[in-house]
């Protein structure tokens, strides 16, 4: 990874606006969605075991972040994906699993190993034996990265209420796979 950008624990609640600005550029968010996401992120960060890492330039600019938490079957995300995983006989992935809730890197800083460093560092710190996440169900840099780290499809064409595009749910054993 580029050595002038540091990946380290970050107080994401204090930097939620910076994080959402990165997400808006990387993923695309409307002003309305930013306002809604702000509340959701702040609530997520209060969950037991929630953990966040930031990628920061020497000037202190946040250019990437990841956060996640031990999965809880009562959380909204888990209740949406559960029937899809159960239909494929793999809903046990919802237990003893660290869920990656968001991962985003500023477009000007993509392709330098920052995303890989964020997700491998946060999962290395998890005590669970596996990790799960969802990504828009298209071929994308995110899907390519997740596969390279050992994530495999657990369910596809998963529909979240209010999200226009279907998602894939992916799971990987921890620690994540490293390249040769």
Residues contributing to the site for ligand COA (CB under 6 A): 26-27, 103-105, 110-116, 135, 140-142, 144-145, 148
Q: DSSP H helical segments within the chain, as ranges?
A: 16-23, 31-44, 76-87, 114-124, 141-148
Nearer to ligand COA, 13 or 136 (CB): 136
Shorter beta-carbon distance to ligand COA: residue 50 or 176: 176
- Cα separation, 104 vs 135, whole angstroms: 12
Q: Which is nearer to ligand COA, 89 or 122 (CB)?
A: 122
CA atoms within 13 A on the CB side of 149: 28
Can you tell me which residue has the tokens 């793999």? 90
Distance in Å, CB of 141 to ligand COA, minimum = 3
On whether the CB atoms of residues 36 and 68 are closer than 8 A, the answer is no
Using the minimum distance from each CB to ligand COA, give the nearer residue, 89 or 137.
137
Cβ distance to ligand COA smaller for residue 90 or 145: 145
**Angle at 158 (CA atoms; ends 152, 164), nearest 5 degrees:** 125
> In whole angstroms, how close is the CB of 15 to ligand COA at the nearest point?
17
Say if residues 71 and 78 touch (Cβ distance below 8 Å): yes
Residue 69 CB, nearest approach to ligand COA (Å): 16
Tokens 């959402």 — which residue? 20
DSSP state of 79: H
- The CB-nearest residue to ligand COA is 115
CB of 26 to ligand COA, least distance (A): 4
């Amino acid at each position: 990874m580029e050595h002038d950008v540091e990946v380290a624990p970050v107080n994401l609640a204090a930097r939620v606006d910076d994080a959402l600005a990165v997400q808006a550029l990387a993923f695309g968010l409307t002003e309305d969605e930013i306002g809604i996401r702000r509340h959701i992120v702040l609530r997520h960060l209060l969950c037991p075991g929630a953990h966040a890492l930031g990628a920061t330039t020497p000037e202190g600019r946040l250019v990437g972040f990841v956060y996640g938490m031990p999965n809880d079957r009562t959380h909204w995300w888990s209740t949406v994906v559960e029937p899809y995983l159960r239909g494929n006989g793999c809903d046990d992935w919802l237990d003893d699993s660290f869920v990656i809730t968001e991962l985003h890197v500023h477009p000007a800083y993509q392709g330098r190993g920052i995303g890989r460093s964020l997700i491998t560092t946060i999962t290395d710190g998890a005590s669970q034996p596996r990790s799960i996440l969802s990504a828009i169900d298209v071929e994308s840099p995110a899907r390519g990265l997740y596969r390279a780290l050992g994530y495999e499809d657990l369910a596809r064409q998963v529909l979240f209420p209010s999200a226009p595009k279907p998602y894939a749910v992916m799971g990987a054993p921890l620690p994540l796979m490293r390249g040769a």
